[in-house]
Amino acid sequence: MTYKAKLKVEFTSKYTLSTYTSYETDSLPEENYTFEVPAEDLNTTQVCGLFKKVMLTMGYCEQTIASGMMSVTFNPDGDEKLMRKLCEEYDLTMNEDVGKKVQEEVKFQLEIEEKLRNEKGPMGTVPEEVHGTPGSYQRLYRQNLDLKAKLSRLQNPDAPSYTDEEIDAMSYENKMENTYLPTHDDGVS
């Protein structure tokens, strides 16, 4: 048994010139495009490529086409498992996960700084680059906690007590006030 299939897409446009002059535009009065491909072995990438060419012919720009494809894939009514699978495959991050990823990275960097602070150099000295490192993530982490606290207060304006996010921000602030970290200004060299 032989399988034959064709995919055919036609695009037709007509432009009606005004009665004043036929020289008012560079557009053609009529355009007819036919795209026809054998469809026996087309994969999804090839089909999407065909429709991309059709849309380019219709006058859409590549950014608009890509935006349309993404909105079809990542729409609010779509399957979240499928979206997460595609994010993993193409190394993307969903908006809902950005805060978690930033917080994980900040915690990881703080753990590294804490380990470096506790490590001793040769003969029990503390390496100078550990104190007040310019790459410190503590300020970023504190800002992240503050923003989360403000957002939780906006989402729960009538909450009778502090939200969990506000408590986290205050706890971290209190912890940092009670922790002395020497800097280069303190004469540490």
Residue 1 inside a domain? The answer is no
Task: Specify whether 60 is located in the same domain as 113.
Answer: no
Task: Specify whether 112 is located in the same domain as 177.
Answer: yes
Distances in Å between the alpha carbon of 67 and those of 32, 50, 82, 90?
Answer: 26, 17, 18, 16
Task: Specify whether 99 is located in the same domain as 179.
Answer: yes
Burial 4-36 (b: 16+ CB within 10 A, else e): eeeeeeeeeeeeeeeeeeeeeeeeeeeeeeeee
Task: Specify whether 120 is located in the same domain as 79.
Answer: no
Distance between CA atoms of residues 141 and 175, nearest Å: 13
Task: Specify whether 76 is located in the same domain as 156.
Answer: no
Tens digit of pLDDT at every position of the chain (189 positions)? 678 889 999 988 887 766 665 566 666 778 888 999 998 888 989 999 999 999 998 889 999 999 999 888 888 888 889 999 998 998 888 888 888 888 888 888 888 777 766 766 666 555 555 444 444 566 777 777 888 888 887 788 888 888 888 888 888 777 777 765 555 454 544
Number of domains in the chain: 2
Residue 164 inside a domain? The answer is yes
Task: Specify whether 121 is located in the same domain as 172.
Answer: yes
Task: Specify whether 71 is located in the same domain as 113.
Answer: no
**Domain, as residue range, for 112:** 95-186
Task: Specify whether 128 is located in the same domain as 176.
Answer: yes
Q: Over 96-135, what HEC string results?
A: HHHHHHHHHHHHHHHHHHHHHHHCCCHHHCCCHHHCCCCC
| Cut 0.95: pTM above it | no
Task: Specify whether 85 is located in the same domain as 99.
Answer: no
Task: Specify whether 81 is located in the same domain as 108.
Answer: no
Task: Specify whether 83 is located in the same domain as 111.
Answer: no
Q: Structure tokens of 4?
A: 């034959």
Phi-psi region of 77 (alpha: psi -120 to 50; beta: other; left: phi over 0): alpha
Residue 56 inside a domain? The answer is yes
Task: Specify whether 127 is located in the same domain as 48.
Answer: no
